[in-house]
């Protein structure tokens, strides 16, 4: 099924080359009813110079062996460590792909999207089998000209770099974006404040979960100011109880701020800032423990089809609040990342990228080809072909 879908994406390229990913491959109208189909595919090949130790072939088995007893660590024993893309070294792989159907009738809409790839394998590991394959299953209701309500399973409102790397400035995501909330389950309200301003408010099951673990809800708010191809500003905030079952209340407060600034016709500047705190409440109140990430991307258009982009990102999580970045280091997580991306825009549907990334950690946390040896550096090159219809 997956192979047929991938072949279909490539065979349709010549016909639908001018389509944007949000416009859809096929649009069927019947009176006031509207049916649209769209999709995305991102394939890659990566080579890690650090010769990392890849985990077992069975990702879930590796998760259970390494994390089952401590309740809530990441599957760092499977695939490349501390990342979802590229997950495997010296292998051809599918980073992410999905097929989506949208249906609209008057003021009601429904969206169903099925997804697959290494990112799904890693980021949805704790979800039930039936939910892992669902990117989105949501219904929307137009309440007025400037109010819309959405309910169901939905992509997150947080993060500058999303699963859809074609729409990002790089072929891979930085640590700060890779493990920000990527999907949510709940209710979301959109208020169109003006032509360029949207406010989003939501009540969800929690931090990147479909199935709630503690029966406590989380609140989210995002303000977006967007002038396409000129200026974008996005500020989002999250507040919720993220304690595990049987654990005392654990409140988390998170802020995600980013901008995308178009400078003349050739330059794009994108600064990103994440600030988070978590407070543990046991027999006595503990202080809020912080984590922070910040970075910037800069892209230069060599021609209308060729571009170069650089990125610097730093993540500091000394108390290992982010479960996917848990280490045995006494200093927690502290890294600086550097990325260089060459981009070829074949057309509006297909993007080819060649990328190199180097990460320097404060401590030796990356496993090497010798299981008893660790390195404070990780570096790789990656080629990626992303296609949307």
Give residue-wise pLDDT tens across range 27-45. 666 556 799 999 999 999 9
Backbone angles phi, psi at 5, to 5 degrees: -65, -45
Residue 49: which domain range? 2-388
DSSP string, 49-102: TT------S-HHHHHHHHHTTTSS---TTSSSTT-SSS-SSSSEEEEEEEEEEE
Q: Look at residue 52 in the predicted model and tell me its pLDDT.
A: 61
The CATH number given to whatever domain includes residue 234 is: 2.40.160.10
Q: What is the pLDDT of residue 259?
A: 97
pLDDT in tens, 124-157: 887 777 888 999 999 999 999 999 999 999 999 9
Please state, in angstroms and rounded to a whole number, the distance separating the CA atoms of residues 181 and 187: 16
Please state whether the predicted TM-score (pTM) of the whole model is above 0.85: no
* Domains in the chain, number: 1
Q: How many residues does the chain have?
A: 389
Residues with pLDDT less than 50, the chain: 1-24, 55-77
Burial (0-12, 13-18, 19+ Cβ within 10 Å), 173: buried
* C-alpha span between 339 and 387 (Å, rounded): 22
pLDDT at 319: 84
């Amino acid at each position: 099924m997956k192979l047929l879908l991938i072949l279909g994406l490539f065979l349709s390229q010549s016909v639908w080359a001018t389509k944007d990913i949000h416009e859809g491959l096929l649009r069927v109208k019947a009176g006031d009813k509207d049916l649209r189909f769209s999709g995305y595919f991102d394939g890659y090949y990566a080579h890690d110079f650090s010769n990392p130790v890849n985990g077992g072939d069975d990702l879930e088995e590796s998760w259970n062996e390494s994390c089952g007893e401590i309740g809530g660590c990441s599957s760092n024993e499977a695939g490349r460590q501390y990342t979802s893309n590229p997950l495997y070294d010296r292998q051809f792989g599918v980073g992410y792909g999905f097929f989506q159907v949208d249906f609209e009738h008057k003021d009601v809409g429904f969206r169903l999207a099925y997804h697959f790839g290494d990112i799904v394998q890693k980021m949805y590991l704790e979800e039930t089998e039936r939910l892992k394959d669902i990117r989105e299953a949501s219904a929307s209701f137009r309440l007025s000209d400037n109010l819309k309500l959405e309910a169901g399973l939905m992509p997150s409102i947080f993060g500058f770099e999303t699963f859809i790397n074609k729409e990002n400035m790089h072929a891979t995501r930085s640590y700060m974006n890779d493990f920000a909330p990527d999907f949510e389950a709940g209710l979301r309200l959109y208020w169109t404040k003006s032509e360029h301003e949207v406010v989003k408010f939501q009540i969800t099951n929690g931090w990147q979960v479909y199935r709630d673990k503690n029966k406590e809800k989380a609140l989210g708010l995002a303000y977006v100011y967007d002038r396409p191809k000129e200026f974008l500003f996005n500020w989002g905030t999250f507040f919720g109880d993220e304690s595990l079952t049987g654990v005392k209340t654990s409140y988390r407060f998170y802020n995600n701020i980013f901008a995308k600034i178009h400078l003349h016709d050739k330059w794009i500047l994108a600064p990103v800032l994440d600030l988070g705190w978590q407070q543990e409440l046991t027999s006595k109140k503990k202080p809020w423990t912080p984590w922070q990430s910040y970075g910037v991307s800069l892209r230069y258009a060599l021609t209308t089809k060729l571009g170069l982009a650089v990125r610097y990102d730093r993540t500091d999580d000394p108390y290992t609040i982010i479960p996917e970045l848990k280490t045995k280091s006494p200093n927690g997580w502290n890294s600086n990342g550097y990325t260089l991306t060459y981009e070829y825009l074949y057309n509006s549907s297909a993007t080819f990228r060649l990328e190199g990334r180097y990460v320097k950690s404060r401590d030796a946390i990356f496993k090497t080809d010798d299981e008893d040896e660790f390195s404070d550096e990780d570096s790789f090159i990656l080629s990626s072909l992303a296609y949307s219809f």
